[in-house]
Structure 1
Amino acid sequence: MPTIQLLLALAVNRQWPMHQLDVSNAFLHGDLPDDIYMRQPPGFTDQTQPDAVCKLQKSLYGLKQAPRQWFNKLTSFLQTHGFRFSRSDPSLLIFNKDNIQIYFLIYVDDFLVTGNNDTAIKQLLHQLQAQFALKQLGQISLFLGIQVLQSTNGFFLSQQHYATKLLHDAGYADCNPATTPVTPSSKQDPTESAPFHDPTLYRQLAGSLQYLSITRPDIAFATNAVYQHMQKPTDKDFKALKRLLRYIKGTITYGLPINNGPLELRTYTDADWASDSSDRKSISGYCSFLGPTIISWTVKNQATVAKSSTEAEYRALSAATSDVLWLRRLAEELHIPQLAPTPIYCDNTSAIAIAKNPVFHARTKHIEIDYHFIRQHIESKAIQLIHIASNDQIADILTKPFSITRFNELRTKLNIQPQNA
């Protein structure tokens, strides 16, 4: 998703068309370099040789090699026409020759194509049409179940149809809306609760919510909390899930705008120390913006218990740094060079001090060495750490519940808004 959002932001800022393509029966196009045999299909058995097998000449649906062989067939075709793989994302292929830039993004049999030369793009699409059963769907409108609405300011990503279906299937199409996805006073407590009577329903809804969160960072924290109890959900866990569904009901038209603006990266990182009462692990949260558009966010429980809030913030800072380095590399391949160090905003002065100080303090001896790579990238001018007041920390919304007023303030800073707002 960050690659898709980066590509859309680039198209908006450069005023490039974004073409959407689809291939019919994609997996049937793959070639098979190995000898593969299958049983005779029912209804087509040779009565004289009932034990004979069929040798496959082409790929079939259901064959384990089918997705890989289709991907190899498509990418080999593109490479013969001058494309190369992105070093940052293997689903992105790049053509850059004679001042012509074309970007080809692949997701199984759905493609996005954009670039600065309409003639070259049309020629490429004509060549693809001759080779594959290509369907040109015109300007991007629905990609991976995400509605992409075009406006004068750019794009608006919405999953309103998906959210409506989710509420209907869950039986909450007419529920009362909630103002926040998590009860403001919600904190995990160890009190026992009866097992939920239908764990399968809980898991289905939790999985659907996970997919909905790819355009709704405002529900990322609540979805992560719901996901922690997939194995043995209780009535209390399902009550929290219902609260999230009620919030979605009240914000069903909300989505993610991608607007024109300066193509400069910035990142916010935060952690909530020992927030999980069951194992005392902390939660890391960080989000990255390209100009006014949020393009990447993460909510994740830390792998080990942190001994202090500083350590928890430092681990979150390390994870955010890794994401920033990848985004900078991808942006450079898309010809969006980041000439200045990317600012990472953190509200913990001690964590910033540990990252900048070359001396290992006694309280950091137990921290794994891989977390200390932050200092190297500060020195190389890839990132810069900037202290920010807690009230201005946007990543707070990814780590803890809030009151209605504070939550709405942070959601606005995330730039999550209703359609046509």
Structure 2
Amino acid sequence: MASTTAPLMVMDVTTAFLHADLPRDVHVKIRGEVFRLHKALYGLKDSPRLFHQHIHSILTRLSWQATITDPCLYTRQHQQHGQTYLMVYVDDLLYVGGGQKEVVEELRPHLQIKHKQGQQHDYLGIRITRTTTSAATTTSTTTTISLTPYLSAIAGIGPFRVSTPITIDHGRQIQGGGKEGAMVSGGGRADNKEQTRQQQLPLTQQKQHKHRLKEYQQVLGTLTYAASTARPDLAYAASVLASKIGHVSTHDVQMARRALQYAKSHNNILTTTVEHTTGAAACGYYTTAQLSDLEKGQQFPTAQIVTYVDASFAMDAGRRSRSGIVICVNNMPVYWRSSKQTITALSAAEAEYSAITEGIKHTIHVRDQLDEMMIKHSTPVILTDSMSAIHMANSDKIQERTKHLGIRMQFTRDHVRKQTVELQHVPSGDQVADMLTKPLHKGAFHRLVQKIMHHE
């Protein structure tokens, strides 16, 4: 919702699952008597699916339409308020658009609804704040997104109890953690010698190992949720730590706690500003066509899509390269990813090219989602710091060193040729996705974080 200035409203469905009909016979025994259930009940494995089907049928009858790119996102064209949106996550609803009272009233005959209006909303642990400022010729709406409620709620719980603020380049701490410390078995990937050694430990030490593994899993789950919702600065750490889940060392446990400590010490937030007069945010990178329009004094499209892609070559122990992707809409990151590449790149240019391919795939999805939301947007700009990869994408030649890439090579070239995306070069120092590919020194890391986030 970074590209819209419409008001927000959070709604909650009370006793959600009890609204859905149960199509099969399910009986429960209570105090010696057996009862047949007519409605879905909390604890049944198919209750979430049944409730989603129930609320989907209600919304469909009310003229809402689920998008193809995200079945949990619904859109509706309102005669008075224009395009409106409804995000459904189980029993938590987020409405974007005018006519909020009307929406609540039309849902109440079908569902028990609690709702909250205003400038600040907490949705799934995410705090969304909207502020509007007016000047002589423009009115600007600023949207900020933070995880303050989520991190505050877990601050004093078990393994999440950390108190000392730290300022660290946590990526460098985590990268080398897999070779140190005693291993904590997490499943099939631990070697047989390690499993045998743990079986021979005294009972108290075996319990200690299990406790340490459980703590690691809890902390990792917290980091993963934070990294996937509103904290791209945690994405690299969460990805590396997740790769060790089956073979955890005591050092890994320490690094997971330090990453969590960093998350709490640095309450970074996502923010974007949309100006009503131009309909575009100051993102800094424009397509060639947009620059031409700017010189002519024409207005920009509502939403500007900019994707940063980068890769680190063969830095993993198995010599796999790692891709980093950050997709911004109006200067706010809406998607980011740090992951090992599925193929073993033979050169740095090949690793960068593979990252570009992945970036284009995810950018197309964001573009299609904006199309379904009826939001005008620019031609997506793909930013890479590799001139070699740009040359490969713009060339039609089949060379000895790249012919093995096959479909991957042609996929990227096809989109560049059709101008569905525009490749541009960005200096390495401004490559935001760099922080998702490898551990950086503290200064470089925080400088890149500040480019797309702000410290609260």
Alignment TM-score, normalising by the size of structure 2:
0.80
* 1:83 and 1:95 in contact (8 A); partners too: yes
Gaps of 5+ in 1: 1-6, 47-53
Following the alignment from structure 1 to structure 2, what is the Cα–Cα distance between the partners of residues 83 and 25? 23
Q: Which residue of structure 1 lines up, in the alignment, with residue 197 of structure 2?
A: none
Which amino acid is 2:312 matched to? D
Q: Which residue of structure 1 lines up, in the alignment, with residue 13 of structure 2?
A: 23
Following the alignment from structure 1 to structure 2, what is the Cα–Cα distance between the partners of residues 175 and 189? 21
**Which of these residues, 387, 405, 409, is aligned with residue 349 of structure 1?**
387
Following the alignment from structure 2 to structure 1, what is the Cα–Cα distance between the partners of residues 359 and 338? 11
SS at match of 1:170: helix
* 1:167 and 1:245 in contact (8 A); partners too: no
Aligned-residue CA RMSD in angstroms?
2.2
Q: Which residue of structure 2 lines up, in the alignment, with residue 142 of structure 1?
A: 122
**Which of these residues, 297, 308, 315, is aligned with residue 268 of structure 1?**
308
Shift in Å, 1:171? 5.9
Q: Which residue of structure 1 lines up, in the alignment, with residue 187 of structure 2?
A: none
Shift in Å, 1:187? 4.9
Following the alignment from structure 1 to structure 2, what is the Cα–Cα distance between the partners of residues 286 and 43? 56
Which amino acid is 2:150 matched to? Y
**Which of these residues, 352, 362, 381, is aligned with residue 323 of structure 1?**
362
Taking only the aligned residue pairs, the percentage that are identical comes to: 28
Q: Which residue of structure 1 lines up, in the alignment, with residue 47 of structure 2?
A: 66
Following the alignment from structure 1 to structure 2, what is the Cα–Cα distance between the partners of residues 178 and 360? 48
* 2:86 and 2:94 in contact (8 A); partners too: yes
* 2:27 and 2:36 in contact (8 A); partners too: no
* 1:27 and 1:60 in contact (8 A); partners too: yes
Following the alignment from structure 2 to structure 1, what is the Cα–Cα distance between the partners of residues 32 and 338? 52
Indicate how the Cα distance of structure 1 residues 293 and 171 shifts in structure 2: closer, same or farther if over 3 A, else same.
Answer: closer
Shift in Å, 1:192? 5.2
Query: What is the correspondence of 1:271-420 to structure 2 with a 5 Å cutoff?
Result: 271-277=311-317, 279-338=318-377, 340-370=378-408, 372-414=410-452, 416-419=453-456
Following the alignment from structure 2 to structure 1, what is the Cα–Cα distance between the partners of residues 250 and 42? 41
Which amino acid is 2:166 matched to? P
**Which of these residues, 87, 91, 100, is aligned with residue 109 of structure 1?**
91
Aligned length: 392
Following the alignment from structure 1 to structure 2, what is the Cα–Cα distance between the partners of residues 249 and 189? 21
Following the alignment from structure 1 to structure 2, what is the Cα–Cα distance between the partners of residues 344 and 90? 27
* Structure 1 range deviating more: 374-383 or 356-365: 356-365
* 2:127 and 2:145 in contact (8 A); partners too: yes
Alignment TM-score, normalising by the size of structure 1:
0.86
Shift in Å, 1:295? 1.4
Q: Which residue of structure 1 lines up, in the alignment, with residue 63 of structure 2?
A: 82
Following the alignment from structure 2 to structure 1, what is the Cα–Cα distance between the partners of residues 163 and 94? 36
* 1:156 and 1:258 in contact (8 A); partners too: yes
Shift in Å, 1:334? 2.1
**Which of these residues, 126, 131, 134, is aligned with residue 110 of structure 2?**
131
Gaps of 5+ in 2: 133-140, 185-208, 281-302
